[in-house]
Each structure stands twice: as C-alpha cells, then as structure tokens.
Structure 1
Amino acid sequence: MAQFDVHRLRQPQDPRLAFLLDIQNDLHDGLETRVMLPLVRTDLVPPPIRRLNPRFDIAGESVILLTQDIASVPRQEIGPAIASLKAERDAILGALDLLIIGY
C-alpha cells in the first residue's frame, strides 16, 4: 500500500462510501492499520467546505474527500489500489492542515 493510493473496502458497510484514500506515510508500512480518508459520492453528502473537502474524479465517479472523518482501517479490510491521487498531494495536505491546524 502506498500513500495517496485510492482503495475500496473489501466489505463496505456504508453505502455512501465510494473509496478510501490512504494518507499514511510508507515509512509506517509495517503497521497493521492504515490511516485513511473516506471519499464519498458528491450526490450523497451535504455541500462541502471547499478546502476541507476537495472534489476528485475517480473511476468515473465524482467524489468528495471527507477529511473530518479520518480513521485508522485494518489492512485486511482494504482492497487493492484502484487509483492514485499523488498528483493532488497539495490539495490533500491542505485539507489536513485546515482540519488539524485551522488554516
């Protein structure tokens, strides 16, 4: 698994959840969990806060990053990578900065 890769859950329980974004640094690849951010279809969430919830297109779906729902996910629940948002690194880190630092 690699930082900024997009995955599906093996058995999703929330029908709104389209994908998960891995934000954990690869230095910690040996841990049993990965720190992930959910990516939810835009038509299933209230209007987003632009910097906190950037929009992306993945596998033909428009999705919103729910930065505020950051979570640790057991590796065995994470499916294979289907895309990468490495090119969107600045927007992702900006959303995390806004959540944690406030600007």
Structure 2
Amino acid sequence: MLWVFSIYLEAVAILPQLVVLQRYGEVENLTGNYVFLLGAYRALYILNWVYRAYTEPYYQHHYVVYICGILQTALYCDFFYYYFLYKRGGGGGKFSLPSAHDN
C-alpha cells in the first residue's frame, strides 16, 4: 500500500513547481533546464518500460506505474512546448510562460 502511494505521490510531486513557474511567468535558465531534465527522465523511463516488455520474457507489468508515469509525463507537456520554443529562439537568459494573468 505504501509503495502504491509513493507512485501516486511521485506522479503529482512536480505540480507545485509547475504552478509556481506558471504564476511567476518567467523561468530562469537553470530552473528551466532542471525541470526539463526531470520530465525527460520520466519520458525515458517510459521508453525503458517498452523496451523491457519486449526483451525480457518474464517482465512484470505494473499498470499503476504505467498510468502514473504517463500522467506525470503529460503534466510536463506544456512546459516542454515553451521550453523548446525558447531553445529554438536562442535560449539566453530567462524565458516566459503564459501566466494566468495574461487572459
């Protein structure tokens, strides 16, 4: 039961950081790189699950882990979009996220 709770908690643990970044609107370069690498880590984890499912004959499928991992990666999608736009545009200094106050 504690293991499942930790999986659920890991899936949503990044939400406070993403909300603060969204409210502040500007993301410093170091913070942006850190959040991007956290999301990339989770996305690579999903690729690892797929690889292991096809190469290991007795691989144990944990659907709770799959669902929470996909949810966690989906939470990063908006950030990834703006991060890639920022990097494509040169990537110096801070970059902006659309804040709730922009509406």
- Higher relative helix content: 2
Higher relative contact order (CA 8 A, sep 6+): 2
TM-score, length basis structure 1:
0.26
- Higher relative strand content: 1
TM-score, length basis structure 2:
0.26
